Amino acid sequence: MTTFMPAAACLLAALCAVASHGAPAFKPAADGGFEFDTGVLRGRLRAGGKSLGLSSVVHVPTATRLDSSNGLFSHYRVFTRGKRHGGGAWDWPSTATLRPDGAVEVLFPATPERPIELKALYRWAGPATLDLETTVRAVSDLEAFESFLASYFSAPFTNSIVYARDSTSTPNRSGFFAADKPAGDWQIFPRDDAAAGVIRDGRWQLEPHPVAWVIRPPLARPLAVRRAPGAGLAAILMAAPTDCFAIATPHESDGHYSTYLSLFGRDLKAGETARARARLVILPSPSASDAEIIRLCETWEESR
């Protein structure tokens, strides 16, 4: 009972706040970016016009800062076979448009050196639920294209888990695997053997900041959680199974406090367009059991 009452109080406060704010939407900010206040979450998108996803994000009922460094749901490394396209998409020139429904569309145009047009559509699906649709148009053939979607959480979000299959059990069981330090400094959970082949094709040895990933068990579905035990919050990250080929995270005590979704992971022909969908949900941690989180992901998949 002692853990339930704070969660219930937070949820009641959130519902009251939402009732006074109406439908969640982004609004223009004075610095060329956007701001939001859903009643549960408050913060910025593209602060200062920079493509770093959500920043200065505060969970209003608990006054907890959620993000750090380069934000939540920001497009970072972009790869094709044997090539890294700049340091990260957050360095690419881009423009943003506020839609009439309160969503924001970001456009990263193709260039002669980078034959990739990338669009990112940010939309609130609820006061604590953000949807992101990433669309890529191939100007020329792109082999094993990847858009690496990054989320950097604040220091309270110490616990990192990924929903994967235990291939050592018979029959295989699915469950959440913790990113414990003994498993490796940098851990990645591929969808299958083909996805593991993409991860191992040499892209992660390309500068800057190469990473030596430790391959963990295969994904049961693209679903990960970052928990902040002291703040009583859980950040749930999910993607469509056909759109996300791996989930990556450093070990739990690493100061990045980050989780990454590897999107696409397939060949695109010149002129072809592909889309990848992802969702971020912030919940009171005591009410976010493993079973409830899995069902939350299943319900989203069924609704699409």
pLDDT tens string 122-138: 999 999 999 999 999 99
At CA 160, angle to CA 159 and CA 161, rounded to 5? 120
Mean pLDDT of the chain: 92
> What span, in angstroms and rounded, lies between the C-alpha atoms of 192 and 205?
21
pTM (two decimals)? 0.91
Residue 189 backbone zone (phi > 0: left; psi -120 to 50: alpha; other: beta): beta
Sequence-separated (6 or more) residues with CB below 8 Å from residue 100:
none
> What span, in angstroms and rounded, lies between the C-alpha atoms of 131 and 148?
16
* pLDDT for position 168: 78
Sequence-separated (6 or more) residues with CB below 8 Å from residue 3:
286
pLDDT tens, 222-280? Answer: 999 999 999 999 999 999 999 999 999 999 989 999 999 999 999 999 999 999 999 99
pLDDT tens, 45-67? Answer: 999 999 999 999 999 999 999 99
Task: Tell me: pLDDT of 9 over 60.
Answer: no
Q: Which two tokens stand for residue 11?
A: 């949820």
* pLDDT for position 22: 62
Structural domains in the chain? 69-303 (2.70.98)
> What span, in angstroms and rounded, lies between the C-alpha atoms of 31 and 48?
5
* pLDDT for position 7: 39
Of the pLDDT bands very low, low, confident and very high (cuts 50, 70, 90), residue 170 is low
pLDDT tens, 60-105? Answer: 999 999 999 999 999 999 999 999 999 999 999 999 999 999 999 9
